[in-house]
């Protein structure tokens, strides 16, 4: 029987030789902590609740045992179902399956919206593994173009994000079409809100819980907050990028419109930039993602749709142009950098409106974040008279009695004293 050693390699898991070949092709060497602890349990057939951040290697926790299991038994029927919240994450999982299972002959199919359904119908006829987003999978179920009656393994990946996106009712509908007995279920989540805990209680039998690095960012990431007036954020970002290595920078915005607008502004400024947001066609989303991975684009401006779907090991900087809505989302965002033991930096542009979120992030990561200013940036620049209607509406949402100039002045004269007891650091570049 497998016994977890203190130091091991993937050979210790006793995977089929065809899978071992895929592991070597993927460049895997030393298992991550969650792989070390969870893979043996999954191989034993246990239901699993895995609590881990993005970037901890959890995809291999379910992909490798699934491939090992499916090498035995009949082919060309759906025996494993993996549900993911976004198209990007579904594609990433599918790509990992193709690399790790390249010698197995097992067929993986992605199922998500934004593309034609008919090609998916044809591919599903010979699929062994389906990686799906909930909405399009339900479409196939209603059309009776997918048979889930022989599913042996169900994986719910990024369950908390599926809850945030309103997918839990869809998940429960899908569950009603799956075998209820003799099914192994694996649930992965970075956080455990009460709704996800109830779902886990309902669907996991005799479960094993594995928790790794929960609710804390990687030690390889350094953090910095940059206080700046709302109307100066775009100009500040350009200045910040001018002082930053821009080989691989991920910028997060709160809205699709702002992601598109900011991506275009950066491109005009001479950066190889693009945006990733929900209004894009699937082909353009794929181009943005693949272009960022390959280095075609040095800056990717994205909404939170990309926070858990991007698997790029060499992202050097994550910049929060807009602060996220929760501390958990902050952790998910910055989890895109500092991966594979590389160092990374997370910069956040903060306004006076972000006071409560900043304090919540301090509590979540267990330490105050350094505040910085740029010595060569004009914090007193007035709001442009050509401000469009959208920007005027944003300005009207500022606290009463604040205008651009007044807020700027406060930014450098103590308006942000609430950030932490430490003094704001001034630097020429950061």
Total length of the chain: 430
From the list 16, 155, 164, 10, the residue with the least C-alpha distance to 93 is: 155
**Domain final residue pick, 212, 243, 273:** 212
Domain span holding position 175: 10-212
The domain total for the chain is 2
Query: What's the token pair of residue 46?
Result: 């246990």
pLDDT of residue 284: 86
Residue 3 forms part of a structural domain = no
Are residues 151 and 269 part of one domain? Answer: no
Which CATH number fits the domain that encloses residue 122?
A: 3.40.50.300
**Domain final residue pick, 212, 229, 247:** 212
Query: What's the token pair of residue 382?
Result: 């007035």
Which residues pair with residue 41 across a beta bridge? none
Are residues 363 and 285 part of one domain? Answer: yes
From the list 326, 292, 290, 422, the residue with the least C-alpha distance to 367 is: 422
Supply the Cα-derived Rg of the chain in whole angstroms.
Answer: 23
Residue 58 forms part of a structural domain = yes
Residue 119 forms part of a structural domain = yes
List pLDDT tens digits, range 89-133. Answer: 999 999 999 999 999 999 999 999 989 999 999 999 999 999 999
Check: CB of residue 141 under 8 Å from CB of residue 148. yes
Region 58-79: mean pLDDT is: 96
Residue 187 DSSP SS3: strand
Residue for token pair 């016994």 = 3
Are residues 36 and 179 part of one domain? Answer: yes
Are residues 148 and 14 part of one domain? Answer: yes
Mean pLDDT comparison of 74-83, 205-214, 298-307, highest-scoring range: 74-83
Residue 4 forms part of a structural domain = no
Task: Say if residue 356's pLDDT is above 70.
Answer: yes
pLDDT of residue 423: 42
Contacts of 364 (CB under 8 A, 6+ apart): 215, 327, 328, 330, 331
**Domain final residue pick, 212, 229, 264:** 212
List pLDDT tens digits, range 216-267. Answer: 555 668 889 999 999 999 999 999 999 888 889 999 999 889 999 999 999 9
CA–CA dist 209, 41 (Å, integer): 10
Are residues 345 and 234 part of one domain? Answer: yes
List pLDDT tens digits, range 14-52. Answer: 999 999 999 998 888 889 899 999 999 999 999 999 988
Are residues 233 and 148 part of one domain? Answer: no
Are residues 140 and 25 part of one domain? Answer: yes
From the list 286, 292, 274, 276, the residue with the least C-alpha distance to 110 is: 286
Are residues 174 and 118 part of one domain? Answer: yes
pLDDT of residue 26: 87
Are residues 422 and 345 part of one domain? Answer: yes
Are residues 251 and 194 part of one domain? Answer: no
pLDDT of residue 278: 75
Residue for token pair 């199922």 = 111
User: What is the band of 327 on the pLDDT scale with cuts at 50, 70, 90?
Assistant: confident
CA–CA dist 199, 168 (Å, integer): 9
User: What is the band of 393 on the pLDDT scale with cuts at 50, 70, 90?
Assistant: very low
Residue 348 forms part of a structural domain = yes
CA 315 to chain centre: 13
Are residues 195 and 65 part of one domain? Answer: yes
Residue 311 forms part of a structural domain = yes
Are residues 421 and 321 part of one domain? Answer: yes
User: Any idea of the CA torsion for 171, 177, 179, 184, to the nearest 10 degrees?
Assistant: -20
């Amino acid at each position: 029987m497998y016994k977890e050693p203190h130091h091991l390699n993937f050979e210790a898991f006793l995977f089929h030789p065809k899978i071992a070949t895929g592991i070597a092709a993927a460049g895997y060497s030393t298992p991550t902590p969650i792989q070390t602890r969870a893979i043996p349990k999954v191989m034993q057939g246990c239901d699993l609740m895995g609590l881990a951040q993005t970037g901890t290697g959890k995809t291999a926790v379910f992909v490798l045992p699934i491939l090992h299991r499916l090498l035995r038994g009949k082919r060309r029927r759906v025996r494993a179902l993996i549900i993911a919240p976004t198209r990007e994450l579904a594609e990433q999982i599918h790509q990992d399956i193709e690399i790790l299972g390249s010698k197995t002959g097992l067929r993986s199919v992605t199922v998500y919206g934004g593309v034609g359904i008919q090609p998916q119908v044809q591919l599903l006829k010979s699929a062994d593994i389906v990686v799906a987003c909930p909405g399009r999978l339900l479409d196939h179920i209603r059309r009776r173009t997918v048979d889930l009656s022989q599913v042996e393994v169900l994986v719910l990946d990024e369950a908390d994000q599926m809850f945030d996106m309103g997918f839990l009712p869809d998940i429960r509908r899908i569950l009603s079409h799956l075998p209820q007995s003799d099914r192994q279920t694996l649930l992965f989540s970075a956080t455990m809100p009460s709704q996800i805990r109830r779902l886990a209680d309902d669907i996991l039998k005799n479960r094993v819980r594995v928790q790794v690095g929960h609710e804390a960012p990687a030690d390889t990431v350094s953090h910095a907050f940059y206080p700046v007036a709302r109307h100066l954020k775009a100009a500040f970002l350009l200045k910040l990028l001018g002082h930053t290595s821009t080989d691989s920078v991920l910028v997060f915005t709160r809205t699709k419109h702002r992601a598109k607008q900011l991506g275009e502004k950066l491109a005009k400024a001479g950066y190889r930039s693009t945006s990733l947001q929900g209004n894009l066609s699937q082909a353009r989303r794929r181009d943005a993602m693949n272009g960022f991975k390959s280095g075609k684009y040095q800056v990717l401006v994205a909404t939170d749709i990309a926070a858990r779907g991007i698997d790029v090991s060499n992202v050097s900087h994550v910049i929060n142009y807009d602060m996220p809505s929760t501390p958990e989302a902050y952790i998910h965002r910055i989890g895109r950098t500092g991966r594979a033991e590389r160092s990374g930096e997370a910069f956040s542009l903060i306004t006076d409106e972000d006071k409560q979120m900043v304090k919540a992030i301090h509590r979540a990561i267990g330490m105050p974040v350094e505040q910085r200013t740029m010595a060569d940036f004009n914090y007193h620049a007035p709001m442009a008279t050509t401000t469009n209607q959208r920007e005027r509406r944003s300005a009207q949402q500022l606290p009463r009695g604040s205008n651009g100039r007044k807020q700027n002045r406060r930014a450098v004269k103590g308006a942000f004293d609430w950030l932490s007891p430490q003094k704001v650091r001034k630097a020429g570049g950061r």
